[in-house]
Structure 1
Amino acid sequence: MDPVRYRVLGTTQALRPDGTPVPVGGARLRALLTVLALRPARTVPAALLVDEVWHGDPPADAPGALQALVGRLRRTLGADAVESVDGGYRLVVVADDVDVHRFERLAGEGLRALADGDPAKAAVVLDDALALWHGPALADLPDRTAEAARWETRRLDVRRGRLTAALSLGQAEQCLPELTALCDLHPLDEPLQVLRLRALRDTGRSAEALAAYEDVRQLLADRLGSDPGPELRALHGELLSPAGEPTPGWGGGRGGGGA
């Protein structure tokens, strides 16, 4: 039994080459695998493993408890899956076989394609990246707040990029429900609001777009004491223009997901 892929974007899992899961029972065992998988083929110091797995409440014999837990993980994954190295342990796996690292590679590739003016390629690659998510990031880490938040932010970047590609491909009607839901969750995210207004405009709902702009303008003023940024203002000007033509010098969004 020698699984070659690991999931940490959701409940931590180990997968055999044929895709069937290897049962990884026990919260601490899954936490240990999560910490190791976040650092593929890299030595993880024993002290860091203890801190992450037991979250500041280590057992009396922490090194012995960690060694026993690593033994259990080897029995689950295979004897060669986890190497003992000076001062710590290492998961024997290439980065692309851990979903979070594959996600990052695909995200970079897709957002570069978008920036290079290839929304069709960007859509395909970013869909592949987003399909790797099966739940909240690092769900099995006892204290996952900061690290998980970083990956959730990156996921939102990719969703913005995917929606930008969809608008460029003339799919405003299809992506408007997702944009509306995301803007409800992140009302102060101006790049998302730009995308929603563009989608409303592209589906012939310019009056709704103007009303939505006013709602965003008021929200920014109330919560942040600021005016809308240049992209929102440029789009507002476009919506007000009689011919409905894009404002000169405005390209409809930033590449790389920040539309």
Structure 2
Amino acid sequence: MDPVRYRILGTTQALRPDGTVVPVGGARLRALLTVLARRAGRTVPGRLLVEGGWGDDPPADATGALQALVGRLRRALGAEAIASAEGGYRLAAAADDVDLHRFERLAGEGLRALADGDPAKAAGVLDDALALWRGPALADLPDAGAEAARWETRHLDVRRARLTAALALGHAEQALPELAALCDAHPLDEPLQALRLRALHEAGRTAQALAAYEDVRRLLADRLGSDPGPQLRALHAQLLRPNEPERERRAPQAPTGAGGEGARPTVPGSVGAEGAGSTVPGSVGAE
């Protein structure tokens, strides 16, 4: 029998094998399920479950309150869904039954395919990963804070990689609307801006690409007091020599986000923040 699947990339949900949604009512109950799903298949200590459910205002009888909440969740999901373990509880699910962990697995596969020079495979796998997102990560966990931000950065890394694959496949024109929107939302992300300039050039809009470079150069000067990094400068030089024979293209590289060539120093609100794109399966949310 197919397992129950769990969604925590957006509002927390549980889905029966036939795809119907299991009603999980109440913010505290969804928060408890979110904490368990983050560590699917592993025991979560009771204190972490209490923190997830009650935050900084735990009940006087925290152990009894947690037991009651787990009981409610078992009635919703089935008694076998939540296993008791020494010191805590465990969601009886494999990592791939949780959208967040499945996303991370697919993201890794897609990025490796892109780095290996297979943009067609990368595009398919990254599309599957991105389709799992329905809203902000860990939306029902009020104190997710920095962890949720790390997953949002990872999401942007994967979107950037998918657009890199699109350009490698010759789909520059189709990629431009999403690139424009992302650059508007993340104007200090130089690798993303470089992708947009490349897409404009490859779509036959070199004049627009040059104008966009000037916009980025002024923005960086105004916001950071600095010039574009080497990646953007090299691309600008290429745009100024459109009639020169193009060197043989290298296999497309997976975008590196904050650590990529030309990335800016850490800036509040910038995608180039320290640690962006560094998420690996199992590392996010480990306490």
Shorter-chain TM range is: over 0.9
Q: Identity percentage over the alignment?
A: 77
Q: What is the CA–CA distance in structure 2 between the aligned matches of 1:43 and 1:52, rounded to whole Å?
A: 15
CA distance in 2, matches of 1:231, 1:249: 17
In the alignment, is the contact (CA less than 8 A) between 1:194 and 1:231 conserved in 2?
yes
Residue type of the alignment partner of 2:190: E
Say whether the 8 Å CA contact 1:41–1:94 is kept in structure 2: yes
Equivalent residue, structure 2, for 1:173:
173
Q: Does 1:255 align with 2:254?
A: yes
Structure 1 gaps, min length 5: none
Structure 2 runs not aligned, ≥5 long? 261-287
TM-score (norm 1): 0.95
How far, CA to CA, are the matches of 2:120 and 2:147 in structure 1? 31
In 1, the alpha carbon distance for the partners of 2:17 and 2:41 equals: 18
Which residue matches 2:146?
146
Q: Which runs of 4+ in 1 moved over 2 A?
A: 248-254, 256-259
Q: TM-score, with normalisation over the residues of structure 2?
A: 0.86
Contact 1:3 1:77 in 2 (8 A): no
Q: Deviations over 1:153-179 (max 9, x none)?
A: 000000000000000111111110000
State the 1:254 CA deviation: 3.5
Distance change >3 Å, CA 193–CA 58, structure 1 → 2: same
Q: How does 1:238-253 map to 2 (within 5 A)?
A: 238-246=238-246, 251=250
CA drift at 1:257:
5.7
**Contact map agreement 1:159 1:257 (CA 8 A) in 2:** no
Residue identity opposite 1:167 in structure 2? L
- 1:94 maps to 94
Q: How does 1:1-259 map to 2 (within 5 A)?
A: 4-246=4-246, 251=250, 254-256=253-255, 258=257
Say if 1:245 and 1:257 are closer, same or farther in 2 by CA, change over 3 A.
farther
* Aligned length in residues: 258
Q: Within 2, Cα distance between the matches of 1:251 and 1:75?
A: 56
* C-alpha RMSD over aligned residues: 1.8
Question: C-alpha deviations, 1:185-228, integer Å up to 9, x for none?
Answer: 00000010011001110111111101111111111122112221
Shift, 1:253, TM fit: 6.2
Report the AA paired with residue 83 of structure 1: A
The answer to which of 55-64 and 28-37 deviates more is 55-64
Q: What CA deviation, in whole Å up to 9, does each residue of 1:93-127 have, x standing for no partner?
A: 00000000000000000010000000000000000
In 1, Cα distance between equivalents of 2:123 and 2:35: 31
Identify which range, 132-141 or 225-234, moves more after superposition: 225-234
Q: 1:146 to 1:242 in 2, by over 3 A?
A: closer
Give the Å deviation of 1:81.
Answer: 0.7
**Cα pair distance change 1:163/1:242, threshold 3 Å:** closer
Distance (Å, rounded) in 1 between the aligned partners of 2:252 and 2:221 = 22
CA contact (8 A) 2:200 2:206 kept: yes
What is the one-letter code of the residue matched to 2:253? Answer: R
Contact between 1:3 and 1:14, CA under 8 Å: does it hold in 2? no
In 1: Cα distance, 2:234 partner to 2:251 partner: 9
Cα distance in 1 for residues equivalent to 2:26 and 2:204: 53
Alpha-carbon distance change, 206 to 252 in structure 1, aligned in 2, over 3 angstroms: farther
CA distance, structure 1, for counterparts of residue 116 and residue 226 of structure 2: 32
* More deviation, 2-11/151-160: 2-11
Cα offsets for 1:122-141 (capped at 9, x unmatched): 00000000000111111111
CA contact (8 A) 1:110 1:125 kept: yes
